[in-house]
Chain A
């Protein structure tokens, strides 16, 4: 059974940093691209970042470019996002989502999400 479990969310002050993790199991992690998608409270879904299976291709939404860094450790079946210079508008539930193949790909499995709150 495919499982994606996010962790690392919490309350952080504006300008602060946070690192989210996503532990994957139940599939061959090295064969799939991965993504971060966020959802602000009461709002819709926003794609944040993509990383290919080998980490050779990485993309970011304009809203986080230069502040967020996506990475993966295929030996640990884990996906990460380092979030710096956080703003109030980054407050959201952050989901990791598996890409069905490499680019372009829809998202076939999602984690349960982890809440990030940016507030003083």
Chain B
């Protein structure tokens, strides 16, 4: 089974900050990686797929990069609506999610 490890687990940041979340796979997954945003009591929302492709309607301040085993999600300028939990997901071999990164207000 492919394990996904996100870091950090919690991140405290201010509006306007540049934020980076890292996701590591236990083996190569090529670019078969997605990122989701989840707010309390809501379903996850797709942000990025195939490591770096922005889902339609998602603000351009979100970007993804990486391939193989190391990936990043970057928010270029954090907005009030971005405080949420973020999950990476591999879909190379079945599906596995990272444990999540909670982005909190500093």
Q: Which of A47, A95, A105, A106 contacts B43 (CB 8 A)?
A: A95
A34 to B50, CA, bound (A): 18
Q: Mark B43-69, 1 if CB is under 8 A from A, else 0.
A: 111100110000100000000000000
Q: Please judge, given known A-B contacts A104-B32, A106-B91, A113-B43, whether A44 and B55 are in contact too, CB under 8 Å.
A: no
Contact of B98 among A44, A95, A105 (CB under 8 A): A44
- Say how far B74's CB is from chain A's closest CB, in angstroms: 19
The range of chain B's interface size is 20 to 34
Q: With contacts defined as CB atoms under 8 Å apart, how many contacts are there between chain A and chain B in the complex?
A: 53
The reply to whether A44 and B100 contact each other, CB–CB distance below 8 Å, is yes
Q: What residue of chain A has the Cβ atom nearest to residue B34's Cβ?
A: A106
Q: How far is the CB of B33 from chain A (nearest CB, A)?
A: 8
* 10 other A-B residue contacts (CB within 8 Å) besides A44-B100, A100-B49: A44-B87, A45-B87, A45-B100, A47-B97, A50-B94, A59-B94, A104-B92, A104-B93, A106-B49, A110-B45
Interface residues of B (CB under 8 A from A): 1, 32, 34, 36, 38, 42-46, 49-50, 55, 87, 89, 91-100
Q: List 28 A-B contacts (CB under 8 A).
A: A44-B87, A44-B97, A44-B98, A45-B36, A45-B44, A45-B87, A45-B89, A45-B97, A47-B94, A47-B95, A47-B96, A47-B97, A50-B95, A59-B94, A61-B94, A62-B1, A100-B49, A106-B34, A106-B46, A106-B50, A106-B89, A107-B34, A107-B36, A107-B46, A108-B46, A108-B55, A110-B44, A112-B42
